[in-house]
Structure 1
Amino acid sequence: MLFHVRMDVNIPLDMDAAVAAEIKAREKAYSQGLQRSGKWRHIWRLAGEYANYSVFDVDSNQELHDILTELPLYPYMRISVQPLCRHPSSIREDDR
């Protein structure tokens, strides 16, 4: 199942810089592992914002929920999710 996910990050301005850096490092490692596994298929930064658009390829709504809630930055995010389905004009056979 493919999902389009927008993530807007809002780290508190008064958070200790070292704490923020540690959370961001864990976030990067976690997200890159998911990318390598194929679960997190695409990620794009939104220019001028601390936000991204991503595409996830997971087996269920619950799996996506579990992945998102395990993000180290999750407590500081506003997330919106839209399910995707293959467009009949797509030439990509690997999209479900």
Structure 2
Amino acid sequence: MLFHVKMTVKLPVDMDPQVAARLKADEKELAQRLQREGKWRHLWRIAGHYANFSVFDVDSVEALHDTLMLLPLFPYMDIEVTGLCRHPSSIHEDDR
């Protein structure tokens, strides 16, 4: 199942910079692993924001929820999820 996910990160302004740096490094490591596994299919930064648009390819809504909960920055995110399906007018057989 494909999901379009918008993640907006809102770190506390008084967060220790070393804690923030560690969270960001851990987030990057996990995000790249999930991309290599094919679960996090696309990842785009939203210009001018500490946010991204992503496409996840997971087995279920529950699998998406569990994956998002693993993200080190999850406690500091506002997340919007939209389920996706292929459009009948698309000329592409695959969206990879």
Q: Aligned residues, how many?
A: 95
In structure 1, stretches of 5+ residues that fail to align are none
Q: TM-score when scaled to structure 1?
A: 0.95
Matched, 1:23 2:27: no
- Comparing 44-53 and 83-92, the one that deviates more: 83-92
In structure 2, C-alpha distance between the alignment counterparts of 1:94 and 1:6, rounded to whole Å: 22
Instruction: Note the C-alpha offset of 1:90.
Output: 1.9
Counterpart in the other structure of 1:73: 73
- The alignment status of 1:92 with 2:85, answered yes or no, reads no
The runs of at least 4 aligned residues of structure 1 exceeding 6 Å deviation read none
SS for the counterpart of 1:8 is strand
Hey, what does 1:36 align to over in structure 2? Answer: 36
Letter in 2 for 1:36: R
Aligned to 2:52: 52
| Aligned-residue RMSD, C-alpha | 0.9
Which runs of no fewer than 5 residues in structure 2 stay unpaired? none
In the TM superposition, residue 92 of structure 1 has moved relative to its aligned partner by 2.9
Aligned-residue sequence identity (percent) comes to 67
Equivalent-residue separation in structure 2 for 1:41 and 1:12 (angstroms): 29
CA drift of 1:94 comes to 3.4
TM-score by length of 2: 0.95
